[in-house]
Chain A
């Protein structure tokens, strides 16, 4: 599949989820239980992006030792939970990471 076709399909699926939400779904279709489960979607899906990007090296092997990303992420989480600030979280993580790899 060419890059452009892939981009268009990803655009379509993004659009269709949004469209189905405002044109097809109604609030009444969601009972409290479904609401509760949906509220866990970010916690269920984002770690699947986050963890491999932190713990796996470029060849896909788990790397725990000599991995500055682990410490940088942990400090970023602490700052994030305390400050509740998205930018502070990203900047702290990058700053610690750069400190560890360059110094």
Chain B
């Protein structure tokens, strides 16, 4: 059996190439948080406590739009729901673990670490294979905290007229590039986007993110069902 440390570093090595897109994400987050008016300490706190790129950017976006706390928190929950399936897939490899390890892994479980570790977990039978997940998660953690910090420093130096807030829709667009190739996804994207845009001023409590997402999912359910018939 490989040592825990060895499996950990295998995780670090496997996840490292996936860290390249995380760098601009972290920088943009740091810059924007300062821009919106969060203190440097709060910005660092967000990256430490939440440790989730999409969650944190949704928080910024809705906070700057004046959404209520309840709407912000539930929107963050909705954004995270996209991971439900991933976790359920990993969980079969982790079912024998002690609770404390499940808690630690939950904090570190992010898309990039998941993608690589899932391949490793499937192929290996060793008892300590979950150290791969921790290694991958820890790598992402270091990159995320460092780039947040750099973003905070940069944020003070970048002039507002650069319009860096436009980087938010761009980063989320970048996460959807594969979906733009599939017709049903494109329809869902357009409908959700239109509901959010036109509902922005009418849907109460700035709940437009949740409403648009639910409409989008309903459309996806209907269309996939129609195609099968």
Residues of A participating in the B interface, judged by any CB pair closer than 8 Å: 1, 3-11, 13-15, 17-23, 25-27, 29-30, 35-56, 60, 62, 69, 72-73, 76-77, 80-81, 84, 86-87, 89-90, 93-94, 97-98, 101
Number of interface residues of B (CB under 8 A): 91
**CB <8 Å contact, B85 and A46:** no
| Residues on the A chain within 8 Å of B81, using CB | 17, 38, 41
| Residues on the B chain within 8 Å of A18, using CB | 80, 83, 87, 106-107, 109
Nearest A residue to B22, CB-CB: A86
**CB <8 Å contact, A21 and B176:** no
- For the complex, what is the distance from the CA of A45 to the CA of B83, rounded to whole Å? 13
With an 8 A cutoff between CB atoms, is B150 at the interface? no
Q: Give B138 Cβ to nearest chain A Cβ, in Å.
A: 15
**CB <8 Å contact, B106 and A15:** yes
- For the complex, what is the distance from the CA of A54 to the CA of B57, rounded to whole Å? 15
With an 8 A cutoff between CB atoms, is B205 at the interface? no
| Residues on the A chain within 8 Å of B80, using CB | 13-14, 17-18
- Could you say which of A49, A94, A98 has the most chain B C-beta atoms within 10 Å of its C-beta? A49
Q: Is chain B's binding surface mostly helix, strand, loop or mixed? A: helix
| Residues on the A chain within 8 Å of B55, using CB | 10, 14
With an 8 A cutoff between CB atoms, is B143 at the interface? no
Contacts A14-B52, A18-B80, A40-B217 given; does A48 touch B173 at CB 8 Å: no
Nearest B residue to A6, CB-CB: B69
A-B pairs with the 8 shortest C-beta distances?
A: A21-B87, A44-B216, A51-B193, A47-B193, A11-B49, A80-B177, A48-B212, A40-B220
**CB <8 Å contact, A21 and B177:** no
| Residues on the B chain within 8 Å of A46, using CB | 172-173, 175-176, 189
- For the complex, what is the distance from the CA of A18 to the CA of B165, rounded to whole Å? 28
Contacts A53-B61, A60-B201 given; does A25 touch B91 at CB 8 Å: yes
- For the complex, what is the distance from the CA of A51 to the CA of B176, rounded to whole Å? 13
| Residues on the B chain within 8 Å of A93, using CB | 166-167, 170, 173
| Residues on the A chain within 8 Å of B69, using CB | 1, 5-6, 9
Q: Give B160 Cβ to nearest chain A Cβ, in Å.
A: 12
**CB <8 Å contact, A53 and B165:** yes
- For the complex, what is the distance from the CA of A73 to the CA of B20, rounded to whole Å? 21
With an 8 A cutoff between CB atoms, is B140 at the interface? no
Nearest B residue to A87, CB-CB: B21
- For the complex, what is the distance from the CA of A51 to the CA of B193, rounded to whole Å? 5
Question: Can you report 13 residue pairs joining A to B where beta carbons are below 8 Å apart?
Answer: A4-B42, A14-B80, A18-B109, A21-B88, A25-B91, A37-B220, A43-B189, A44-B212, A51-B169, A73-B170, A81-B181, A89-B173, A90-B174
